[in-house]
Amino acid sequence: MPPRRITLSIVVFWLAMTAWLLWRDIWPSIAPGEPPSFAISRMDDNRSQSVVTWKAQNIPRRGTPVDYTITTTVAHEAKTDLFTLHAKLRPDRPAADQVKLLQSMKLKSEYWVERVPGNMLEARMLGLDVDVEFLAAPINPTGDRHGHFTGQVAGGACDLSWITKGGKPAEHGSESLRVTYHGVVLLPLHPLERIRGLRPGRRWGCPLLDPLESSALFSSGPKVVWVNAEVLGRTETEQGKECLVIEYQGGDISGTTWVDVKEDRVLRMEVWLGSGHWVIKRGT
């Protein structure tokens, strides 16, 4: 039996390390106001990735609705805990209403995430990349419009850089966004395959980047708003599944997401952006 002083030192050291690990790895995930982490599947470690297809429709304030297809995949960097969540949005056909400067658009977005230490199924955001291309309508003499946004997360902030061009001289700049432990900057048109850790009444907040308004013809820079989210106290049925419902709102932006209770899979999203109303449904 070691002397009492040594025993006490060992106990104090053990308690200090336990408290430090709790503060570093566990508390950030359960702290009030912390957004859910990015959900990683065990299958995401495989080099052969499955593709999820989503059907989307943009219902503008005026004009004809436009149908889109979104495909999402997850890529794993071999022998690391790094993943890239990809999304591509493409119009199914050109917009029927041609009396405007810009019509349908293409969008590519990525979340860069890293697995949370000690948890195989959770990840936090390291960065993002969004590329938007608005296709010019026949009456537009200035051509397509393009926006590109990239962000790096470190030290409780996401440093966002951007450039927009087409239709007027190119503009560029940068700004810093406050983020929480999981580093979430919400991309409203990038469906996540799963969202875990939901429970009725859970609330959180995070910044949201609207890539469409940020890239619009008369934009002066990124449109970023702080949105507050809450999981409703009731469940709803979507695609024959019982779902928890997340509602979020900030400024003139709001959204609703339906998440399968049993499998944590996102089945449907509705987003109200300044440019209109988006309905996104999970396919295969």
Between CA 187 and CA 88 the distance in angstroms is: 12
Distances in Å between the Cα of 12 and the Cα atoms of 2, 100, 138, 252 are: 15, 70, 73, 52
Q: Is 32 exposed, middle or buried (CB count within 10 Å of its CB: 0-12, 13-18, 19+)?
A: exposed
Provide the residue ranges of all domains of the chain, joining segments of one domain with +: 31-282
Between CA 19 and CA 10 the distance in angstroms is: 14
Distances in Å between the Cα of 11 and the Cα atoms of 4, 17, 27, 159 are: 10, 10, 22, 42
| CA distance between the termini of the chain | 63
List the chain pLDDT tens, one digit each, 284 residues: 556 666 555 544 454 454 334 434 444 444 557 999 999 886 666 655 678 999 999 988 777 888 999 999 999 988 899 999 999 999 987 655 544 545 568 899 999 999 998 888 899 999 999 999 987 666 555 678 899 999 999 999 999 999 998 877 788 999 999 999 999 999 999 999 999 999 999 999 999 999 999 988 778 789 999 999 999 999 999 999 999 999 999 999 999 999 999 999 999 999 999 768 999 999 96
Distances in Å between the Cα of 266 and the Cα atoms of 46, 102, 146, 190, 196 are: 21, 31, 29, 11, 10
pLDDT at site 1? 52
pLDDT at site 73? 95
- What is the model's pTM? 0.84
Helices (H), the chain: 4-21, 27-30, 211-215
The C-alpha angle 118, 119, 122, rounded to 5 degrees, equals 140
Question: 54 Cβ partners below 8 Å, 6+ apart?
Answer: 69, 70, 71, 72, 191, 280, 281, 282, 283
pLDDT at site 240? 95
